[in-house]
Homo-oligomer: A and B are copies of this chain.
């Protein structure tokens, strides 16, 4: 037996979903929250996005056990202006808030042409593409961003100030799943640097700086220093925009404030999420936008080596839906209530 067979087991997706739901119920979450979080974790596993899947389960559970996250959260939605939905997540994980906002956000977007969802008081611990894909599957164009805890310095600086601050964008398609990209403002995710530190590997140049602000390829030095934004000052501008959109604009916190109030239990900090939804029929006046965008996608794909964003995720989906997913034994132990 190889070490892979020792440490992982293959499991069907529907079985995994049941195990996740039961785990959250056992940890004191109500049915609605258990189901919503399970579906979000399952979508990450289904698309091979392992780092956002059950790999995060220990962090989720730590935040329930520390009392930071409300497992019985009842998100409350208010229409604060004709095109603005404000969602108070009631201190719970973000997935239930996302499920509850889909219908009203779609309705308002179709009637107003464009709408914004301002999510406050939730704990976002997954990828943004999950909620954006659900909106684009309903025919809407969507954009989202969220901040976190400080990881990136501003342009010209050395001290972490911005979160890794991802943005995501989704575009609906007729005979294909939506085009979705979701990217952090850092060159690489913090998790990749942590894995390199664990394994004693150097990382590539240009990923981070040490506490003195000097370039380094030592993962430990970067974890004490800072990650770098992609594209220099331009990526830093994106991270700054995200701080403002997901923080002050929504009445939620900045990354530096999130870090101060977080109890560092291993789960996510409390924060805000900015979601924008647009009805393309109302902006272009017909359904022509669908074929029109395909002109661009075809031009992209006419060159060898070019793929559409999200394509590799969707290729993995097809395979995993057929044959299930491999889960590490220590995570299966948690899922079976043995830890």
Selected interface stretch from A36-44, A80-88, A91-99, A324-332: A80-88
By Cβ-Cβ distance, the 4 closest A-B pairs, closest first, are A81-B113, A231-B231, A230-B231, A84-B113
Can you give 7 A-B contacts (C-beta < 8 A)? Answer: A141-B245, A143-B241, A155-B307, A156-B305, A183-B234, A183-B237, A250-B284
- Interface code A247-285, partner B: CB below 8 Å = 1, 0 otherwise? 111110010110000000000000000001011101111
A289 touches B156 (CB 8 A): no
Return the CB mask of A292-314 against B: 1 if under 8 Å, else 0.
11011001100101110100000
Stretch at the interface among A26-34, A114-122, A191-199, A215-223: A114-122
Number of copies: 2
Contact with A249, one of B248, B250, B278, B303 (Cβ below 8 angstroms): B278
User: Given contacts A118-B283, A283-B118, is CB(A293)–CB(B231) below 8 Å?
Assistant: no
A116 with B283, Cβ < 8 A, contacts A256-B299, A276-B276 known: yes
Tell me the minimal C-beta distance from A314 to chain B in angstroms: 16
Does B305 lie within 8 Å of A248, measured CB to CB?
A: no
Tell me the bound Cα distance from A178 to B243 in angstroms.
16
Asked if A307 contacts B248 (CB within 8 A), the reply is no
Which of A17-25, A69-77, A157-165 forms part of the interface with chain B? Answer: A157-165
- Which residues of chain A from 98 to 125 have a CB within 8 Å of any chain B CB? 111-116, 118
**The residue from B112, B114, B282, B296 contacting A248, defined by CB atoms under 8 A apart:** B296
Question: In the complex, which residues 157-205 of chain A have their Cβ closer than 8 Å to any Cβ of chain B?
Answer: 157-159, 161, 169, 171, 181, 183, 187
Q: Is A154 an interface residue (CB 8 A)?
A: yes
**CB-CB nearest in chain B for A286:** B251
The interface residues of chain B lying within 8 Å CB-to-CB of A153 are 303
Please determine whether A248 and B158 come into contact, CB atoms closer than 8 angstroms: no
Q: Which residues of B contact A254 (CB under 8 A)?
A: 292, 295-296, 299
Q: Which residue of B lies closest to A257 (CB)?
A: B295
Judged by a CB distance under 8 angstroms, whether A338 is at the interface is: no
Q: Is A244 an interface residue (CB 8 A)?
A: yes
Which residues of chain B come closer than 8 Å to A59, judged between CB atoms? none
Given contacts A83-B112, A116-B113, A254-B296, contact A303 B247 (CB under 8 A): no
